């Protein structure tokens, strides 16, 4: 069901059936039984699923038989929701992703990881490192798989140790990047990241 030109009528809480509000007829549990959010509008509801609850099933039949009258002479049809009030004929992956993802405030280090000419594999590893989710010996210790730093023998192989408190990786880092950033590399993870950000 989709009313293209009426995108304001609430499915559950507005009176559009002569019998009254659906939320009163079905009860609060109705939203779960039909899988339709309490704040859904009629135009959001495109499928009424079957329910074992006979009362709900009877309501579904009443809704199906309800004559929907369009106030503008446009054909009824199913459309893709691209945003809160944006319905389109075509499916757009980015618009759908924005709706189903949980967005958070932008982090300070985002531009270190995500930039236009990034190599996706490197970005992903950098992202894991910044979130401290690399499979280091320290993290594997929590899973019962203790592992020392195989490069220098340090018992607690943490992210900060590898980048670049470890004397071996620090020496390697010096050889690879030298003073690429205009300053001596720092064995402290926090200082390295804040330099990269600035």
Judged by the rule CB under 5 A, the positions of this chain that interact with Zn ion are 149, 151-152, 154, 166
**Between residues 154 and 186, which has the closer beta carbon with respect to Zn ion?**
154
Q: How far is the CB of 168 from Zn ion (least distance, A)?
A: 5
**Between residues 33 and 159, which has the closer beta carbon with respect to Zn ion?**
159
Rounded CA separation 164/174 (Å): 10
Instruction: Answer yes or no: are the C-beta atoms of 55 and 26 closer than 8 Å.
Output: yes
Instruction: Answer yes or no: are the C-beta atoms of 22 and 30 closer than 8 Å.
Output: yes
Q: How far is the CB of 136 from Zn ion (least distance, A)?
A: 11
> Three-state SS across 21-60?
CHHHHHCCHHHHHHCCCCCCEHHHCCCCCCCCCHHHHHHH
Cα 73 off chain centre by: 38
Q: How far is the CB of 161 from Zn ion (least distance, A)?
A: 6
**Between residues 9 and 148, which has the closer beta carbon with respect to Zn ion?**
148
Q: How far is the CB of 191 from Zn ion (least distance, A)?
A: 18
Q: Which residue is nearest to Zn ion (CB)?
A: 166
**Between residues 85 and 132, which has the closer beta carbon with respect to Zn ion?**
132
Give the CB-side neighbour count of residue 194, counting CA atoms within 13 A.
Answer: 6
């Amino acid at each position: 069901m989709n009313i293209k030109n009426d995108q304001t009528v609430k499915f559950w809480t507005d009176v559009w059936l002569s019998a009254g509000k659906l939320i009163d007829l079905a009860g609060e549990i109705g939203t779960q039984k039909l899988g339709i959010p309490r704040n859904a509008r009629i135009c959001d509801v495109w499928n009424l699923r079957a329910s074992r609850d006979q009362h709900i099933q009877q309501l579904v039949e009443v809704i199906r038989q309800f004559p929907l009258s369009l106030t503008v002479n446009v054909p009824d049809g199913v459309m893709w929701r691209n945003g809160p009030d944006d319905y389109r004929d075509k499916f757009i992956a980015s618009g759908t992703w924005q709706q189903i993802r949980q967005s958070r405030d932008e982090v300070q280090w985002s531009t270190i990881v995500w930039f236009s000419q990034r190599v996706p594999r490197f970005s992903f590893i950098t992202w894991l490192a910044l979130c401290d989710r690399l499979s280091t010996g320290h993290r594997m210790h929590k899973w019962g798989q203790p592992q020392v730093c195989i490069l220098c023998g340090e018992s607690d192989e943490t992210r900060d140790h590898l980048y670049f408190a470890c004397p071996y990786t620090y020496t390697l880092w010096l050889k690879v990047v030298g003073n690429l950033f205009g300053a001596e590399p720092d064995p402290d993870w926090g200082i390295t990241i804040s330099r990269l950000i600035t």
